[in-house]
Amino acid sequence: MAINELLSTMSGVLDIRDVFEHVSAVARKVIPRDALSLPPLTEDKNNVDVYAVTGSKSEFPQTVPLPDHHRPLVTSAWDYLTYEDIQRTWSSPNSKTCGAR
pLDDT tens digit sequence for 11-45 = 777 777 778 888 888 888 887 777 788 888 899 99
This prediction's pTM:
0.55
CA-based R_g, the chain, Å: 14
Q: CA-to-CA distance for 54 and 28, rounded, in angstroms?
A: 11
What does the pLDDT look like over 46-80, one tens digit per residue? 998 888 888 877 777 788 898 888 888 888 888 87
Q: Which amino acid is at 10?
A: M
